[in-house]
């Protein structure tokens, strides 16, 4: 009985660690995607400014 209880506690702790790892990984991925999107947006804005300056010239 005690062995089963210890095994269940160990399994629960392992599941918690896996969930925390996946949560952390999802935050890293979301940050990476957001950063990439912002960089692309900034590059597009810079390109538009160059085009507008060329048109005005």
List the domain boundaries for the chain: 1-57
The alpha carbon of 50 is separated from its chain's Cα centroid by a whole number of angstroms, namely 32
Q: pLDDT per residue over 34-57, tens digit each?
A: 998 888 888 777 777 776 677 776
DSSP 17: H
pLDDT at 25 (0 to 100): 98
H helices of 1-57, in order, are 2-56
pLDDT of 34? 93
pTM of full prediction above 0.75? no
Burial level of 12, CB count in 10 A (0-12/13-18/19+)? exposed
pLDDT digits (tens, 9 = 90+) for 5-39: 999 999 999 999 999 999 999 999 999 999 988 88
Q: ∠ at Cα 13 (10, 15), nearest 5°?
A: 110
Output phi, psi for 36, to 5 deg.
Answer: -60, -40
Quick one: pLDDT at residue 54? Answer: 72
């Amino acid at each position: 009985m005690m062995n089963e209880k210890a095994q269940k506690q160990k399994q629960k702790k392992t599941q918690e660690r896996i969930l925390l790892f996946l949560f952390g990984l999802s935050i890293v991925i979301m940050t990476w995607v957001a950063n990439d999107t912002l960089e692309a947006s900034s590059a597009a804005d810079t390109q538009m400014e160059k085009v507008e300056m060329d048109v005005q010239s």
